[in-house]
């Protein structure tokens, strides 16, 4: 039993060491937060394409170390290094990453619960929830500012024809 534990420990050390050494870069200007929360104190701002070292992942946040400082950034503002190579990967890590995909080994899943035909037939309006949703409305000027800051491009989409 002790030998099994020792072997697992020896296999685990290179795995954890290589995960700590993963590098990434920012895909847009990104705030470094003191804690993994949107309303946490901002410690510094990383410019577009800044190199960072990933220290730890927690939900949609990543603890990083960079030339500009250390703290937490949103995971969706990062991309893995362009080479796709990670030091210390001897092939064993793939055994433990079965749920991960992509060159970064990071999987982000977003889903929406589907509605059944019965759900649609028995649906009824909820005025309180509609009132809450109205609080999320923005003006055209606010939307345009958001698009400029996020470097988004305008696109025209045709309506889907009614069937």
Would 40 be classed as within a structural domain? yes
The answer to whether residues 97 and 105 touch, using CB atoms and an 8 Å cutoff, is yes
Would 116 be classed as within a structural domain? no
Number of structural domains the chain divides into:
1
pLDDT at 108: 53
Q: What is the distance, to the nearest Å, from the Cα of residue 100 to the centroid of all Cα atoms in its chain? A: 13
DSSP state at residue 47? P
Which of left, alpha, beta for 88 (phi over 0: left; psi -120 to 50: alpha)?
left
* pLDDT tens per residue, range 28-70: 999 999 998 888 999 999 999 999 999 988 888 899 999 999 9
Q: What span, in angstroms and rounded, lies between the C-alpha atoms of 80 and 93?
A: 17
Would 124 be classed as within a structural domain? no
Would 92 be classed as within a structural domain? yes
Q: Which domain holds residue 58?
A: 2-109
Supply the CATH number for residue 65's domain: 2.30.30.40
Would 138 be classed as within a structural domain? no
Q: What is the distance, to the nearest Å, from the Cα of residue 104 to the centroid of all Cα atoms in its chain? A: 11
Would 130 be classed as within a structural domain? no
Looking at every residue in the chain, the average pLDDT score rounds to 74
Q: What span, in angstroms and rounded, lies between the C-alpha atoms of 51 and 23?
A: 7
Q: What is the distance, to the nearest Å, from the Cα of residue 122 to the centroid of all Cα atoms in its chain? A: 36
* pLDDT tens per residue, range 64-111: 999 999 999 998 899 886 444 444 444 444 344 444 444 445 555 554
Would 150 be classed as within a structural domain? no
* pLDDT tens per residue, range 7-29: 444 444 444 444 446 889 999 99
Q: What span, in angstroms and rounded, lies between the C-alpha atoms of 86 and 36?
A: 25
Would 101 be classed as within a structural domain? yes
């Amino acid at each position: 039993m002790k030998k099994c534990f020792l072997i697992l420990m020896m296999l685990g050390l290179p795995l954890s060491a290589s995960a700590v050494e993963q590098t990434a870069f920012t895909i847009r200007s990104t705030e470094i937060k003191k804690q993994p929360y949107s309303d946490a104190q901002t410690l510094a701002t990383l410019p577009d394409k800044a190199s960072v070292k990933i220290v730890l992942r927690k939900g949609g946040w990543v603890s990083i170390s960079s030339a500009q400082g250390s703290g937490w950034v949103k995971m969706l503002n990062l991309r893995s290094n362009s080479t796709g190579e990670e030091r210390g990967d001897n092939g064993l890590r793939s055994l433990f990453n079965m749920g991960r995909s992509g060159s970064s080994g990071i999987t982000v899943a977003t889903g929406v619960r589907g509605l059944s035909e019965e759900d649609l037939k028995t649906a009824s309006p909820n005025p309180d929830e509609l009132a809450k949703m109205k609080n999320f409305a923005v003006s055209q000027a606010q939307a345009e500012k958001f698009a400029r800051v996020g470097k988004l491009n305008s696109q025209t989409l045709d309506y889907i024809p009614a069937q």
